[in-house]
Structure 1
Amino acid sequence: MSNKYKMFIDGEWVDSSTNERLETVNPYNQEVWATIPQASNKDIDDSISAARTAFETIWKKISGAERANMMVKLADLLDQEAERMSILETTDNGKLIRETKNQMHFSAKGYRFFAGLTDKIYGEVIPLENQDLFDYTRREPLGVAVLITSWNSPISLLTNKLAPALAAGNTVVIKPSEHASVTTLELGKLVEKAGFPPGVVNIITGDGRVGDYLTKHPNINKISFTGGTETGKRISRNASENLVPVTLELGGKSPNIIFEDAEIDRAVTGAVAGIFAASGQTCIAGSRLLVHRPIYNQVLTKLVEKAKTIKLGNPLDPTTEMGPAANEAQYSRILSMIEAGKESGADLVLGGNEVNGEGLEKGYFVPPTIFANVENSMSIAQEEIFGPVLSVIPFKDEDEVLQLANESKFGLASGVWTTDMRKVHRLSREIQAGTVWINTYRTAAPSAPFGGVKMSGYGRERCIQAIHDYTRIKNVMINYAEDDRDPFSMQTK
């Protein structure tokens, strides 16, 4: 029997007003294990109305310290419930239990980080030429923020948005992916326990119809979205109708660069982490491995040998190293891109479509797949696959690798493996990406800015700057001069 979840609107757990529901499938065994509501337009209106009322009557009026106390309680509850929440998330999207549990604790750190900023949202005093004018600014919350997350890391991605939104004094309407909504709904229970007033956090579920209506709504003040680039473009167009500011964290085709002077074994491990961790279903995946020609064959050999040992299996088993694709649509896309790679003339040196082994019969499993001698213009090197598929591309020198790295419509992350610090600084300045990892890959901290350039989106999450993206600046100018002024000329000094 599947678990029947409800939505969280204005502090109440409710079904869809139409009673329409969607099935949630476990990607490991393809069994329906939960159902979620398909929100109607009325439900969406109700959630936005609840958020608006809570903002105007309660949330914007309480102190930062009070908001911080609730956020710290939420972090504590998330730490306490990490085991249970990680099991639910792994069941929902197939990500390894060893990672989902870590992400729960990492998310708790995120709430604590932003809780520490709630009473530090400062304005400024601005010195003016006219000494009879006193000018200052204040940062104020935007109002109702719509937060939309992807299916690959629901709680972690939500924390990037929810923590700064709440810290800044906004109320929210959350819409998780229909492919992985359960842990976001479970977070609503923790929000209740943490003592947040009704309407501050609202959670609605459903497919793209919900997101489309939400992002066109005239009574919202901010949108933050993580997901595919094409959906991001559509949300940006919707938001423009009401001039709503948007943060977009979108796709990637990140270059991971290994130079001849790198520590080869560490670099190979970093390459594995970059593409095969999370079964490649991460926007920061180092899916283009650019390797210096003198060590190309050596790196490729070591990489194939290491990838062959990766253990596929039940993502709830802590010894498993790669789980299934998260859903059927994504599984089909990965397989189609592998076929495109074969047809393009790249050399398939590992993996492909066939998966054999005990416990792998029903799941959406794709083996670690490596293409060698890939040209940067090929579709497998240019299109985001969002799966365990690596394109290995040779380069001759620093100039060529910079050209290859930047010849992409994306610009989310990148990696460089070298022991030459002068090279590090040159490359980190020239690579077009929001993150440049040096001698590491797929490393994060709540205080480190995260976001992209080009078609990878705009805005930054997880850092002090993120809280500013959920505020607006108001200017206050006070005239305490005793003399009168010319009413027909702007006073400029």
Structure 2
Amino acid sequence: MAIETAIRTFKNLIGGEWTESSSGRTFDSINPANKTEVVGRFQASVEDDVVQAIESAEKAFPAWKAVAPSKRAEMLYKAAVLLETGLEQYAEELTREEGKTLAASRMEVKRSAQTLRYYASEGLNIAGDTLPSDDPTTFVYTKKEPLGVVTVITPWNFPISIPVRKIAPALAAGNTVVFKPASDTPLIAFRLVEALHNAGLPAGVINFVTGSASKTGVPLVSHPAVKAVTFTGSTGAGENIRRNVRLSARIQMELGGKNPLIVLEDADLDHAVELAVKGGFELTGQACTGTSRVIVMEQVHDAFVEKLIARAKTLTIGNGLSGEAEIGPLANESQLNNVLDYVAIGQAEGAELAYGGERIDEGEYANGYFVRPAIFTGVRPDMRIAQEEIFGPVISVIRVKCFKNAIRVANDVEYGLSASIVTSDYNRMQYFIDHIQSGIVKVNRTTTGNALNVPFGGLKMSSTATFRESGREALDFYTHSKTVYHGIQELKFCCSK
């Protein structure tokens, strides 16, 4: 049983007021490193709460649209300061709620403040175009305008940085927002909304509802007032959302990944191992850009595997609040069971479990969702562990005989989010860049991580491939172009000279 001493209950934010759910029910956010600890209690919202939030956002939109861009920027800047002021508290809460290391949590909160500042600035640069006209009495131009109410639905693995990179550009462009975070990590999402609210956003501009997707999801994506839906999560959930979004609403979805790291025979193997470990095991493998397949040339396969196992054995697993832990727990029991199931699937398919893959549940690990990172060898490209997203610390090593076969194997999945290659051969680097089917392409770098000022998104089943997140391109999703034909009467002068 979870310990319930001095548990704080957090509320929804609807129309500028902190309110309880009309359901009268709540749910608990649990520490995955110690499931006896309740991090906070949150509103178990239902459709009525979501409808209220959407209507509040719709009501607030005309006034927010009319606010000067510089004033909107001031509020985003202030929210960034508030996040930085509470950095240590928020980082600790994030770790207690999600499980990642305290260092990773600090980095995520800092990055979120940077993202707020970035879009505060970029919001001042939203502009249309002037266009030539064959008619000298017509001035033609386009102007960018906000869409209206935007629904933001986000996952638990980056529970503040992903919401910020959706909410900040939406607000900077003049939209109002209804935000539903993942139920595993509502506290850090609450802190973000609290910072925006305290920064002076008018009532109804940012609305916050917590609860299960089954109880809130339909109006979030299908209400007539919702003009855009932005979602990050599993491909299955994304497909379900897409079926329910109204034809008139925009949709942006970043979904799953099965990201390859190709290691060629001329690679620096120590560097390649570090990239594989960072991409596959940091964040407990719970990143959509995480390295789940390492495709290794036959000439260096055995040496690479030996080094990879040796490096994995040095990793410290533990509570993310400890200064020593490099890998924390999985985020919840479902994630733990999913990883353990895939370890069993890999073994049943005939792959060799060369290292790890077992649950750690003794002593200090007894109350957490800990698993030792797994390394599979002898993996065929058609195996489920080489095709399906596991979203945990499991690396499948695939041996190949030639470079072009490595590219073929890398592309032979339904996903195309992030891919990397380790080589010193410039020509093969360029061939990889040109032929890999991936929205994010890296050379001698880990598959994880993206800069906040560059576009982010995938190909194939990794993305809707409509609008990109992050960078200046993200603003395109939150604005539409209005084309203006402005007639000009020809001037008549009273004199001939």
- Superposed pair shares fold, TM > 0.5: yes
* Of 463, 468, 471, the match for 2:476: 468
* Of 281, 299, 310, the match for 2:315: 310
Match runs of 1:352-371 below 5 Å = 352-355=357-360, 358-371=363-376
The alignment partner of 2:327 has SS state of coil
Match of 1:146 in 2: 151
Structure 1 residue 264: Cα displacement: 1.4
Quick one: which amino acid aligns to residue 295 of structure 1? V
Match of 2:450 in 1: 444
The alignment partner of 1:4 has SS state of coil
Cα distance between partner residues in 1 of 2:342 and 2:104? 26
* Of 422, 428, 436, the match for 1:423: 428
- Note the residue ranges of structure 2 that are not aligned, 5 or more in a row: 492-497
Cα distance between partner residues in 1 of 2:238 and 2:198? 33
C-alpha root-mean-square deviation of aligned residues, in Å? 1.3
Structure 1 residue 443: Cα displacement: 3.0
Match of 1:478 in 2: 486
TM-score, length basis structure 1? 0.95
Change (3 A) 1:354 1:147: closer
Match runs of 1:218-297 below 5 Å = 218-239=224-245, 241-297=246-302
* Of 129, 139, 153, the match for 1:134: 139
Whether 1:156 and 2:161 are equivalent positions in the alignment is yes
The alignment partner of 1:23 has SS state of strand
Structure 1 residue 130: Cα displacement: 2.1
Farther off after superposition, 9-18 or 272-281: 9-18
Quick one: which amino acid aligns to residue 16 of structure 1? S
Cα distance between partner residues in 2 of 1:116 and 1:479? 33
Whether 1:184 and 2:189 are equivalent positions in the alignment is yes
Match of 2:218 in 1: 212
After superposing on structure 2, the runs of 4+ consecutive aligned residues of structure 1 that deviate more than 4 Å are none
Farther off after superposition, 184-193 or 409-418: 184-193
Cα distance between partner residues in 1 of 2:192 and 2:80? 11
Contact 2:361 2:370 in 1 (8 A): no
Match of 1:320 in 2: 325
The alignment partner of 1:84 has SS state of helix
Cα distance between partner residues in 2 of 1:325 and 1:443? 19
Contact 2:101 2:328 in 1 (8 A): yes
Quick one: which amino acid aligns to residue 236 of structure 1? R
Match of 1:123 in 2: 128
Cα distance between partner residues in 1 of 2:80 and 2:400? 45
Cα shift readout 1:312-339 (whole Å, capped 9, x = no counterpart): 1111112101111101111111111111
Match of 2:342 in 1: 337
Structure 1 residue 454: Cα displacement: 0.8
Quick one: which amino acid aligns to residue 476 of structure 2? H
Q: Percent identity?
A: 38
Match of 1:48 in 2: 54
The alignment partner of 1:464 has SS state of coil
Cα shift readout 1:345-384 (whole Å, capped 9, x = no counterpart): 0010001224265411111111010000101110001110
Cα shift readout 1:395-439 (whole Å, capped 9, x = no counterpart): 122210111011010011111111112211111111111111111
The alignment partner of 1:440 has SS state of coil
Contact 1:149 1:158 in 2 (8 A): yes
Cα distance between partner residues in 2 of 1:225 and 1:235? 9
Contact 2:69 2:124 in 1 (8 A): yes
Whether 1:17 and 2:29 are equivalent positions in the alignment is no
Contact 2:22 2:46 in 1 (8 A): yes
- Note the residue ranges of structure 1 that are not aligned, 5 or more in a row: 484-493
Quick one: which amino acid aligns to residue 310 of structure 1? L
Match of 2:494 in 1: none
Contact 2:255 2:288 in 1 (8 A): yes
The alignment partner of 1:119 has SS state of helix
Quick one: which amino acid aligns to residue 130 of structure 1? D
Contact 1:371 1:390 in 2 (8 A): yes
Quick one: which amino acid aligns to residue 213 of structure 1? P
Cα distance between partner residues in 1 of 2:203 and 2:84? 23
Structure 1 residue 482: Cα displacement: 6.1
The alignment partner of 1:13 has SS state of strand
Match of 2:200 in 1: 195
Contact 2:197 2:206 in 1 (8 A): no
Contact 2:47 2:218 in 1 (8 A): no
Cα shift readout 1:139-168 (whole Å, capped 9, x = no counterpart): 000011000000111101101101111111
Cα distance between partner residues in 2 of 1:394 and 1:212? 45
Quick one: which amino acid aligns to residue 106 of structure 2? K
Contact 2:417 2:439 in 1 (8 A): yes
Structure 1 residue 212: Cα displacement: 2.8
Cα distance between partner residues in 1 of 2:161 and 2:438? 21
Structure 1 residue 87: Cα displacement: 1.0
Contact 1:225 1:249 in 2 (8 A): yes
Contact 1:257 1:291 in 2 (8 A): yes
Contact 1:412 1:435 in 2 (8 A): yes
Match runs of 1:102-121 below 5 Å = 102-121=107-126
The alignment partner of 2:34 has SS state of coil
Structure 1 residue 243: Cα displacement: 2.5
The alignment partner of 1:116 has SS state of helix
Contact 1:148 1:211 in 2 (8 A): no
Cα distance between partner residues in 2 of 1:33 and 1:76? 24
Cα distance between partner residues in 2 of 1:85 and 1:263? 38
Match of 2:495 in 1: none
* Of 346, 350, 366, the match for 2:351: 346
Contact 2:297 2:399 in 1 (8 A): yes
Quick one: which amino acid aligns to residue 460 of structure 1? R
Match runs of 1:348-427 below 5 Å = 348-355=353-360, 358-427=363-432
The alignment partner of 1:55 has SS state of helix
Cα distance between partner residues in 2 of 1:405 and 1:212? 36
Cα distance between partner residues in 2 of 1:421 and 1:356? 47
Farther off after superposition, 179-188 or 333-342: 179-188
Match of 1:90 in 2: 95
Quick one: which amino acid aligns to residue 364 of structure 1? Y
The alignment partner of 2:416 has SS state of coil
